[in-house]
Structure 1
Amino acid sequence: MAKSTTKKLSALSPLSAITLGLLSSGLAYAQESEEAKKAELEHIEVNPMHAYRSTATKSSLRPIDSPVSINVIDQELLQLRQADSVNKALRYVSGVTTESRPTITIFDQFTIRGFTTYQTFYDGLPLLSNNSWNLYPQVDAFATESLEILKGPASSLYGLVPPGGLVNQVAKYPKDDQETLIRAGVGSDGLFELGLDTTGALSEDADYRLVMLGRQRDGFQDTTETERYTIAPSVTIDINKATELTVSAYYQDDPDMVPSTSLPGLGSLYEATFDKLDASTYAGDENWNSFSREVLMLGYKLNHQINDDWSILQKLRYTDAEALQKNTYHTVLPDDNNMLPRSAYLTDEEIDGFTVDTQLAGLITTDTISHNLLFGVDHQSSDSKVAYRDTLGVNTPALNLADINNDLFDVDSLPLDFYQEDHNIEIEQTGFYIQNEMQIDSFTLLLNGRFDQFKSKDVVKNIYNTLAYGSTTDIDQNEFSGRVAAMYTFDTGWRAYTNYSESFEPEAGVDSLTGEAFKPTTAEQIEIGAKYQTRDGSTSFTGAYFVVTKENMVVNTPDFAQRTQTGEVESKGVELELNTNITNSLSIQANATFLDMEVTENELDLALVGKTPVWVAEESASIWASYLFENALDGLMLGAGIRYVGETQADKYNSDQVPSYTLVDAVIAYDIPKYDLKLTGSVSNLGNKEYIGSCFDTNNCWYGAQRRVEVGIEKRF
């Protein structure tokens, strides 16, 4: 690499998958002999390789029947809301605060139950990163079949994950029936988009799928741009009646993305002598600030049915990715000055590695209990290189906020060699896990545990103003994570559940008070909840109360002279969600979140105790309504949503708050079945409200996303 509305079969429950398979087989082979039909039906019945596998359990247990909090945004809902990114798809999910920095595009950033994450999973495997810096591969929403959001600690199945939970993007895989979708879109900020999604049979035993996308658009901030080209081919081969292999590739070139360049609080969060800055104000320079990324992923998924009750699934993915960022940051803006001091820096990053997950699943039944057993081992290994260069403000032009000029940098004259860091990072993680999903009449009991071995080595070479030095940081940590969950299902459709779960994250460094190497940061959750679903599935409700405690956090004195591992944060709250079809035409989805998060222990900075971390909205709510017209306007759909995000903190000491905001989104779609056409349109932030999305501190803030309009046309063949 150069530096620089149809659901697939596997997204259904096992019963639905088999039913759909039977129906499609009957239609496709209506002229075949009865013997051929019977053989095909038997193959589907005894081969549940396409059965739904939930992110919550890595089994076929449906989300509604899982004793944990999990949301599923399927392809139909993604299309309904015309969400073209993970961040946009998460806007109407309880417990999630998305788009904390909505004007950037280099990664998807969101909080789940108050805990920040940048990493997503793709088809059950983590998108490789080195857990720091800026190289986070993104899978475009157009190449995604569905999203599953698992809330709460999940290390007992997935190893290293933040305590809030994880988002898993389910890949688009080949289907038997021939389908082709071509999409074109245009919109505000110079949007131009073309997409192709085609699938079908290559032969009697092989199916294919090809997803391609090209998109160009100006960024929200002046002089910024985004550009993306994606190609994702895959082939599924039935090796025999019991074995299926899917080989896939994913290549994405992002020549232009928008890096995270903040604005000072003066002029954005606060009034200033130079008046309020426009929402499109950019603190970077068009000659310098940029981000480019290339990602290549090659993988396979092998599923073998040993017999009617036991199967083996193995998923492997190799990743080769690179990213080059050129960016700026600023120091404190004097109250009586318009000039914003800036430093220029770059990060040149690359990562090469693989991740693999092997699962043995089986069913053992007795007269009273069924045991769905899962034994698994996963492993990831990666090598990263990072080159960091920084002017530290030397000979770096300041920005006049009273007269914005984004054309000041002479790139050749920037002293980027003033400060240098070169990192070589090696990471290895191996996890062994086991799960027993027990069913006793209407009672479900879930027990699982996992042991992880995590090793990393970071060799750093530094140069500061010609002075050379270096260091090596090693992490060698082991951790056990467990989960116990139970649910009782009543005849009325109500379900009551509770769970206890754990997670961990590795920590580098040495305790300055004890001299001992840091241990992993850990978290535990206690959750109780209720779920309800009508027999026809037209109405569902979920409610959960949870307490998540993150312990062994590394804390430091304000001057960073001392560091120790005695910090603790507690997040507790309530999540409510309602999905209902009021009529055959009108559907409503509503949710609300009430969160109380605070630092409970920090012996080196007592001023933080009792304070709420930044980027955490303690109240949020949304409602979305869709109406499908009939008769004269048959095929027309209108949808609209209102989302409210409460106050967040302006800094870690809670010296001020970022105001709450309420936004309105709307979509329209018109199906023309006669021509297999669909016309679409969407508007986000319909009122073009100007608001602050978030602040890291009172000197670093980001405006919220401004209004955007998109129209598109889709043709199916």
Structure 2
Amino acid sequence: MQYLHISASRRFPSPSQLSIAVLAALATMGSACADTQLAPVEVTAEREASSLGLDQASTTGSRTGVTVRELPASIESVDSATTQERGDYTIMDAITRATGVSGVGSGGNGTMSFSTRGFSGTNSVGLAEDGMRLSTGAGTQNYPNDSWGYERIEVLRGPASVVYGSGTVGATINAVRKAPSRTASAEALFGIGTDGTGRIGLGGTGALGEIASFRVDAYGHTTDGQRDLGNASGSKLLTTLRLQPSSDLRFELLADYSKQNPERYWGTPNDKGRIVSSLRNENYNVSDAIIGYEDKRLRGRVEWQANDWLTLRDEVYYFEANRHWKNVEQYSLNAAAGTVNRSDYLEIRHNMDQTGNRLEAGIRTERHRGVIGWEVARVNFRHSNNSPYGGASTVSAGNPAHGAWSSPDPTLAKFDTRSTLQALYAEDAWQFANQWLLMAGIRHDVADVSRDELVNGTDFDKTLRGNAWRLGLTYQLSPATSLYAQASTGHDPVTSIITMNLSNSNFTLTKGKQVETGIKQSLGNGLGEWTAALFRIDKDDIITRDPVNPALSVQGGSQHSQGIELSAALTPWKNWRFEGNFTVLRARYDELLEAGGVDRSGKRPTGVPEQVANLWAHHRLGPVLASLGGRYVGKRYADNANSVVLPAYSVVDAALAWTYDQRTTLRLLGRNLTDKVYATTSYGSQQFVLGQGRSFELVAELKF
């Protein structure tokens, strides 16, 4: 284990102007709090009894405002208290503890890529913030990344196209922000850990005058990393200003900034499909490699309660994302010679902006909670690269000389796309009897894409259309127990819509359909809550090969998954609390031909585990809370032939928290206590992306 240290020469990358603004806001709130400060009160009680949030309004699962218990679908929430308790400071860490979710993120997809219900990747699992999605360009999702500043992170499993549009057949992950309040409060987080890890989080809210309130959250982190070239850093600022001139009218303005420089790591070469543990801490990238993401966001919202039954809402926004990669990405191990052959000296830039508007009307009567809306977005995307990515070198497998990036191919702007995305949608939750709720939703999406080739190739225009619907029924067996069943459809693109090329411009959206049934129940005497779901998803029109001419790619393939998901949060004894989930599924290609006409029918899709489990146990001894967590991910495959296996793995984490008083908590976090060597995903079939080794962190959490 390395010694705990923080380098004095390192500093968080937050812009100084943003830091000054945050500190000024916190100082203002501190003065406000001082005027109403209460005498200190010692608190020894533990958190509320374990809960899955079944009675919480489901902003992710539906826009009608039904609760999680009422919703005829599978949805899960991880709140901010839970993420801090477990030390899950990234959304990837937090959401991969949810039922059936595993991470397949790498440097090439922005690290925010997931697998669930038998479907993987950015074109099947969507990512949103407060219900709004930035379009996926060239298979990349990188925002939101850090969990600080969010009230909760939710995952809606199964086709979510009725609410979120294309690219959500597997699931949608939605980060819900903390909202402004006129009651002044502030919070802070300071952490130091092994491998030069440090983090700072600041947040606060309060009133401004008679009708305004605000919320500010800032966060920064840095680490030297466990691998060579493992340094990474990031910072962000989230701001919200709310104006409420009357009880039925509300305005909000949100302005955000984020900058990330993740670890410049593209995986470790395997030895004929075997993890080489001795290479765990090696990195075969070049010393001047670059991975950088910068996001800017501006949003305006208005909500007007026109009368007892009608609410009008409008949201206008501007998102901007700039990304830069400059790396050597492909490595092949020559075990006999003890060397690694490197290729793909690759440089890519994404310059993307998205402007949009969502207008909707909410209708509420004695029996109906409905919504009807229209969304429109204009997306401009420029892709620059140095294709065909020339360059090659050979380095020692142990302690490689990294060298510098050099390619004979110039980096040029290769194409521009201009896309207009529109959707009409409607949902209704009909309480047609005291114990029965019928939910129906429908959505129509249209994507008009125009691509201009800037170097060579053929310009083209393409229009894609997709329809989705959802029909579900919930029966409230008792106030504590609900049973549900639903059927839903959705659609995924065969590639990212806004960056499609000529070769796939003739393809339509793939089609997904799901049937699901389940139970949601609260147990008596504060014992806890549990849920179970059975599902099957079929997806048609995936890309396959023409049986007559295997050199030709066509649509017509199919795949399916089916399984069971269980989750529970229980408090069986005083001072004990348990949270856990378990998923078992079967995912297969029903019809798939690859190059040369090779039949992959009956094979499992890449990156899909068929068993995923999580368990946390908490025990309180006075002001001390001891927590132990375990995570299991079953074996996966790195290729459609199922010939390269990513082994199953189990990781054990722990936390020890001391609540000094109602405002101060000290937390010691231990991650991967057994120092397990494991692969989270693959980057091609020759490289495994290895998970982090054992680490420790000491965190102070303050409330004002």
Instruction: State the TM-score, normalizing by the size of structure 2.
Output: 0.86
CA change 1:184–1:74 in 2 (3 A) is: same
Q: CA deviation at 1:314?
A: 2.1
- 1:74 is matched with 79
Query: In structure 2, what is the Cα distance between the partners aligned to 1:594 and 1:702?
Result: 24
Query: In structure 1, what is the Cα distance between the partners aligned to 2:129 and 2:275?
Result: 40
Q: Secondary structure at the match of 1:223?
A: coil
| 1:280 aligned onto 2:273 | no
- 2:223 is matched with 217
Listed as ranges, the matches of 1:152-191 within 5 Å are 152-191=158-197
Q: CA deviation at 1:377?
A: 1.2
Q: CA deviation at 1:201?
A: 0.9
CA change 1:53–1:330 in 2 (3 A) is: closer
Listed as ranges, the matches of 1:313-712 within 5 Å are 313-330=313-330, 332-333=332-333, 336-337=336-337, 338-365=339-366, 370-390=367-387, 392-394=389-391, 396-406=392-402, 408-409=403-404, 411=405, 413-417=406-410, 422-439=414-431, 440-462=433-455, 469-491=456-478, 493-507=480-494, 517-534=506-523, 538-556=527-545, 561-603=551-593, 605-630=597-622, 635-673=623-661, 676-712=663-699
Query: In structure 1, what is the Cα distance between the partners aligned to 2:407 and 2:505?
Result: 41
- 1:123 is matched with 130
Q: CA deviation at 1:678?
A: 1.4
Q: CA deviation at 1:397?
A: 2.4
- 2:305 is matched with 305
Report which structure shows greater RCO (CA 8 Å, sep ≥6). Answer: 2
- 2:210 is matched with 204
CA change 1:629–1:356 in 2 (3 A) is: farther
Query: In structure 2, what is the Cα distance between the partners aligned to 1:267 and 1:683?
Result: 33
Structure 1, 383-392 or 140-149: larger mean CA deviation? 383-392
AA at the equivalent of 2:454: K
| 1:249 aligned onto 2:252 | no
Structure 1, 183-192 or 354-363: larger mean CA deviation? 354-363
Q: CA deviation at 1:90?
A: 1.6
Query: In structure 1, what is the Cα distance between the partners aligned to 2:469 and 2:529?
Result: 29
Q: Secondary structure at the match of 1:694?
A: strand
Q: CA deviation at 1:253?
A: 1.9
Query: In structure 2, what is the Cα distance between the partners aligned to 1:699 and 1:518?
Result: 30
Deviations 1:557-615 (A, max 9, x none): 79983110011110111101111112342111111111100110124544211100111
Equivalent pair of 2:542/2:555 in contact (CA under 8 Å): yes
CA change 1:282–1:636 in 2 (3 A) is: same
Query: In structure 2, what is the Cα distance between the partners aligned to 1:310 and 1:222?
Result: 58
Equivalent pair of 1:103/1:704 in contact (CA under 8 Å): no
Equivalent pair of 2:91/2:144 in contact (CA under 8 Å): no
CA change 1:523–1:537 in 2 (3 A) is: farther
Equivalent pair of 1:135/1:350 in contact (CA under 8 Å): no
AA at the equivalent of 1:703: L
AA at the equivalent of 2:310: W
Structure 1, 86-95 or 567-576: larger mean CA deviation? 86-95
Deviations 1:408-431 (A, max 9, x none): 22x4x53232x8561202222111
Query: In structure 2, what is the Cα distance between the partners aligned to 1:579 and 1:423?
Result: 50
Equivalent pair of 1:691/1:703 in contact (CA under 8 Å): yes
Unpaired runs of 5+ in structure 2? 1-35, 37-55
Q: Secondary structure at the match of 1:87?
A: helix
AA at the equivalent of 1:147: I
Structure 1, 333-342 or 652-661: larger mean CA deviation? 333-342
Q: CA deviation at 1:446?
A: 0.5
Query: In structure 2, what is the Cα distance between the partners aligned to 1:102 and 1:88?
Result: 14
CA-atom RMSD in angstroms: 2.7
Q: Secondary structure at the match of 1:127?
A: coil
CA change 1:165–1:590 in 2 (3 A) is: same
Q: Secondary structure at the match of 1:125?
A: coil
Q: CA deviation at 1:460?
A: 2.6
Query: In structure 2, what is the Cα distance between the partners aligned to 1:102 and 1:477?
Result: 29
Aligned residues between the structures: 640
AA at the equivalent of 2:153: L
- 2:117 is matched with 113
Structure 1, 385-394 or 101-110: larger mean CA deviation? 101-110
CA change 1:72–1:516 in 2 (3 A) is: closer
Deviations 1:215-234 (A, max 9, x none): 11123431122111211121
Instruction: State the TM-score, normalizing by the size of structure 1.
Output: 0.84
Equivalent pair of 2:90/2:146 in contact (CA under 8 Å): yes
CA change 1:562–1:581 in 2 (3 A) is: same
Query: In structure 2, what is the Cα distance between the partners aligned to 1:311 and 1:263?
Result: 54
Query: In structure 1, what is the Cα distance between the partners aligned to 2:332 and 2:193?
Result: 37
Q: Secondary structure at the match of 1:84?
A: coil
AA at the equivalent of 1:544: A
Q: CA deviation at 1:661?
A: 0.9
Query: In structure 2, what is the Cα distance between the partners aligned to 1:688 and 1:165?
Result: 31
Unpaired runs of 5+ in structure 1? 1-27, 29-50, 463-468
Equivalent pair of 1:299/1:318 in contact (CA under 8 Å): yes
Q: CA deviation at 1:89?
A: 0.5
AA at the equivalent of 1:188: T
AA at the equivalent of 2:660: I
CA change 1:331–1:566 in 2 (3 A) is: farther
Query: In structure 1, what is the Cα distance between the partners aligned to 2:239 and 2:558?
Result: 45
Structure 1, 114-123 or 661-670: larger mean CA deviation? 114-123
Query: In structure 1, what is the Cα distance between the partners aligned to 2:672 and 2:256?
Result: 32
Deviations 1:261-286 (A, max 9, x none): 13322287256xxxx54212112111
CA change 1:190–1:332 in 2 (3 A) is: closer
Query: In structure 1, what is the Cα distance between the partners aligned to 2:227 and 2:546?
Result: 36
Equivalent pair of 2:371/2:427 in contact (CA under 8 Å): yes
- 1:4 is matched with none
Equivalent pair of 1:259/1:325 in contact (CA under 8 Å): no
Q: CA deviation at 1:80?
A: 2.0
Q: Secondary structure at the match of 2:386?
A: strand
